[in-house]
Chains A and B, each alone.
Chain A
Amino acid sequence: MNLTLNINGTAHSVDIVEGELLLDVLRRLGFTSVREGCGVGACGSCTVLVDGHSVSSCLTLSSRCAGTEIQTSEGLGKDNPVVRAFVAEGALQCGYCIPGFVMMATELLSENLHPDEKDVADHLEGNICRCGTYPEIVKAVLAAASGIPK
C-alpha cells in the first residue's frame, strides 16, 4: 500500500508492505538516526516523536502514522539547543544510542521546561547507553533546559 508520512516537516510518499514497522520504513527512507537495538521496545535507540510523543518505532506500525507529524533527530538540526548541549557536554561515546536520548530529551523539555536531575533520569530511564554516558547525558539535558528562559 502507499502511504504519505510527514517526517521532519516534509511529506514522503512511500510504498509499504503490510505490517511494515515505522523503524524499517524510516531507515528505508534514509533516516539512519533510527536504529534497531532490541526489536522489543526495551532499549530506546529507535525512538522517534509522533505528534510530539515518544514512540519505539520498532513497535509501531508505519500504517498507523499516516497523518501524523514524525520527528527524528536528524530533523532537529545542529542549532537545536538539545543537540548543541549534547555536543558541548561530550554526551556521547560510540554515539549509536544518542539520537534516541536526544528525542526523549526533546519530549521532556516540551513537557517540563525546567526539569531537575531526577526528572531527567525518570524520563530517560527506558533508553540504554552501554558505553555508560549517563552522567554526561544528564548534564546535557540540564544544560539544554537552562537555556530556556524561566
Chain B
Amino acid sequence: MTSEVFSGESYDGNAVGQSWRRANSESKVLGTFRYTADLPVPKCLYLGVHRASQPHASIVNIDAEGAMAIPGVVKVITGADLYDALGEKMLTGPAFSDQPPIAWQRVRYVGEPVAVVLATDLATARAAADEIYVEYQDMAPVLDIDAALEGHDYVHDELRPSVVFQDLRQLMGKRNTNINYEYNLNRGDSEHAHKTAATTVNGEFWTPPTSHVAIELFSASAWTEETHLELVSTTQTPSYVRQAIATMLNLRLNQVRVRTLGLGGSFGSKMYDRLEPLVAAIAWTQKLPVRLELTREETFVLTTRHGVAVSSRMSADSDGNIVAATADVRYDTGAYADIGPRIAAKSGMVACGPYRIENAKIRSRCIYTNKPSAGPFRGFGVPQVTWSHESLIDDLARELGEDPAGFRKRNLLREGDVAPIGTVMHSADFIGCLDAVTEAIGWNEPLERREGDWKWGRGVAVGIKAVLTPTVSNAVLQLNQDASATLLISTVEMGQGSDTIMAQIVADVLNLGPERVRVVNPDTDVTPYDTITAGSRSTYHTGNAVKMAAETMRDKLIEIAAKQMGVSPSDCKLTAGGVLSSSSQRLISLEDLIMSEFGAAGTTMTAEANFTTEWIPYDKETGQSTKITEHWFAGAAAAELAVDARTGRIRIRHLAVAGDVGRAINPALVKQQLIGGAIMGMGHALFDEIVFDNGQMVNGTLLDYQLPSIKDMPEKLTPIIVENPHRTGPFGAKGVGETGLIPIAPAIANAVRDAIGIRITTLPLTPERVLTALANQGK
C-alpha cells in the first residue's frame, strides 16, 4: 500500500495552499484531546432506553413496575407522558414533523424507543430498561419498498411536513400513501428518443442500507439552568438542533444552548434530530439533568444510509452520443422521513449522471417502510444513483464497442454546458478527473488478463453532486491585542479538518503564522448560525464567511494604521510584520497598533461576515432550474483488480481517485479526504450492508457488520487533486468530503465486469455474490 499525503508544515506568509499540520494532532494521537462525551457536565441521571421488539404495532400497555422496583431507578417516561406535556410539538424532523422522541401509541420499527428509564447510574438504567414489559397489538408491517408502493398498509396515517421547506406544505394531511416525496425531472422527449436511438441498455440496480459506524458513539446531556436549557451533544448541526429544540419546547432561541466539541467521526450520522429531542424533552419537562450514551447496537438502529432501488435506461445514437436517459429512483427512508425527501429531490436529480443528455426523465421517490429511519450519509444519496448511471453507461459503451473511458469523455459535461437539470456548469472538471485517474492506473497499457484462477480487469467511473443550496454561514473573528486571533464559527470539526483550514484562511488574509489562530468549539451562545456541517459545504460557505470577516478585519487595521501614521489607507498594506506604509516605509506591528488604538493590553477587535447562497427552486413539472445549486462537486475513480474465480474474492491492485476541489486550501488534508472517501466507498463496494429479517436488523453489531480494515487496503491507492478554481470560492476552493466516495463502487464493479464479463447490479460485491454470478454465467 503506498500513498503520499503529508508534506509537513512550513510557513512562507501564504497559509493557503500549504499542508499545515492538522490542528490538535498531538493531543489526538496521545488521546488527551477532549471529545464531546469528555466535556464536564453537572451530575446527571442516566437514561436507559427500552426499545420496540415489533416493526409495526400499536402499544396496548407498558408495564414498568419491575423497572421501578430496582434500587437507583428514579422514573420511567413514556411517549404518552411527553405527549401530555408537549402535545404534537414533540413530533420533530428536518423535513417532516413525524418522529416522536419516544414512540407514542404506535411503534414503527424494531428498536424504536418505547419507554425511558431515569436512574442514578448507567448500568442500572440499562438493566431496568430490560425489566419493562410492553404489550403490543401487531399491525401489518411494510417491510420493503415494493410492499410500501403496493399501498395496502401505511407506516403513517397522514403526511406531516415540517414548516422548514415551503415546497413540502402541499403534502400536509395527505393520506393512504407511503410516498412522502416525489421529484420529477423532464427534459426533451425521452420516450421518443429511446425509441429512435441506435442502442439502448437497461438495468435494475440496488444499493443496500449501510451504517455510518463513526467510531465515537452518540451521547447527549441536557439540564436546565434558571430560565434556559443546556444541551451538550454529539451533533454536526448545533444551529439546527437549537432551532428544533426551541420549537419543540416552545422556548426562545436564547433559552436553548447547544454545545459540541470535536466529533470522533460522523459521516452524516450525527445530524438533525438524534438524541437531542429525547434528552431535551425529558430534561425540560421533568426539570432533571439527564444523560444518554448509546451502545453500538443502539447506534445501528438510530440512523442508516438509504437502501435505494433504481430502474434505469440509457440510449445512444450511432455516433456514440447519449441521446436519452431515464431513471426511476426509490429511496427506502424507513419509519421516519428525516431528510429523505430532500435527498430524493436533490440527489435523485443527478440520477442520469454528469452527461450531455437532451432527453432525460427522472422520477425519484422517498418511501416510508417499517425499518429504522434512514438519513444523510456521506454523499447524501448520490452514491446510490451513481451506482446506477455509472454501471449503465459502462454497459452502453461496451454495447457500442467503445472504450468506457473514451465514451464517457465524449459525453461528459464541460464548462458552460447545460446539465440535464437546466443549470449551466462551472468549475466541475469531470474530464480532468477522468484523465487523471485513467493515467494513474495505466488505463491504456496492456493488461495480463489471467493469472491462474485470478482474472484481471480495469474499471472507471465519474461522480457528480450538487452542493446543498440555499444555505447560510456566519463567522465572527476576534483579533486580540497580542496579534492572536480567535475564530467563532459553528462548523463542527469531525475529522474533515475544518479547524485547520479555517485557521489557514484567517492566517493567509491577516498574515499570521500557524498557532496564531484558534477556532472556538461550536456553542450556540457564542458561535453564530451555520446551516449544517455537512454535504462538503464548509470549505466554500463557512470558508467564504471566514475570509470575508478576515478581510473586514484587515481593512479596519489598515484604516486605523493609516490614521495613526497620517497617511492614506491606500498607501498601507498588511505584511507579516504589521501594517506598512509604502510612502513612509513606516511599519506598525499589530500589537502596537491595537495597543495604541485602545490604550490597553489584552483588548480585542471584532469583525463579522455572513455568506448566504441562493437558488432558483426547480419547476414542479419539469424539475428544471437555471440555478439549482451554488456549485458542483466533480470526481472520478479508476480501479485495477483481480477476481478469484475459485473463491469470488476481489483483490484491488490500484485504486486511483480524483476530485476537482477548485483550489486545495490544504493539499495534505484534501488527499486524506479523497483517500478516506475512497476507502469508505470500497467498503460500500465490497463489505458494507445492513441485513434485515422481517424488519429486525440481524447484523447490527461490529462482530457481524463488516468494515474495511487495514488488511483490505488496495495494494496502491492514489489520490489526485484537480484544481479548477471556482469564481466565488474562497481562494477558488470548494469542499471535498464526499467527492472521493461517490464513484468508487461503480469503478470497482466496472473493473469486475471487465475481468469476468458479468454485470453485477446489487451491492456489495461479496464473494458469495460474485461466485453465484460466475456459476450462473456457466449455465
Contact = CB atoms under 8 A, between A and B. Distances in A.
Interface of A: 17, 31-40, 42-43, 45, 72-74, 76-78, 83, 86-99, 102, 117, 120-122, 124-138
A97 B265 CA distance: 10
Interface stretch (B178-186, B307-315, B549-557, B701-709): B701-709
If over half of A's interface residues share one DSSP class (helix, strand or loop), that class is named, otherwise mixed; here it is loop
B702 A37 contact: yes
Contacts, number: 175
B5 A125 contact: no
A131 B703 contact: no
Nearest to B27: A95
A125 B494 CA distance: 23
B396 to A, nearest CB: 31
Given A89-B6, A130-B267, A35 B215 contact: yes
A87 B31 contact: no
A132 B677 contact: yes
A137 B717 CA distance: 14
A78 B26 contact: yes
Contact of A35 (B22, B212, B264, B676): B264
B267 A95 contact: no
B713 A95 contact: no
18 contacts: A32-B31, A40-B702, A74-B31, A78-B26, A83-B29, A88-B6, A90-B21, A91-B29, A93-B265, A94-B263, A94-B494, A95-B28, A95-B262, A125-B709, A132-B708, A135-B5, A135-B713, A136-B6
Nearest to B266: A94
B30 A96 contact: no
Given A87-B21, A138-B710, A98 B672 contact: no
Interface size class, chain B: 35 or more
Given A37-B702, A38-B702, A128-B702, A78 B30 contact: yes
A132 B703 CA distance: 19
Nearest to B715: A117
Given A39-B295, A95-B28, A135-B2, A88 B8 contact: yes
Interface stretch (B32-40, B74-82, B402-410, B519-527): B32-40
Contacts of A89: 6
B31 A90 contact: no
Interface in B389-432: none
Given A78-B26, A125-B711, A129-B215, 18 more contacts: A33-B31, A37-B217, A73-B30, A83-B29, A90-B668, A93-B497, A93-B676, A94-B216, A94-B263, A98-B29, A117-B1, A125-B709, A127-B709, A128-B215, A130-B265, A132-B708, A136-B3, A136-B6
Contacts of A37: 215-217, 296, 702
A102 B265 contact: no
A52 B731 CA distance: 49
Contact of B679 (A43, A126, A134): A134
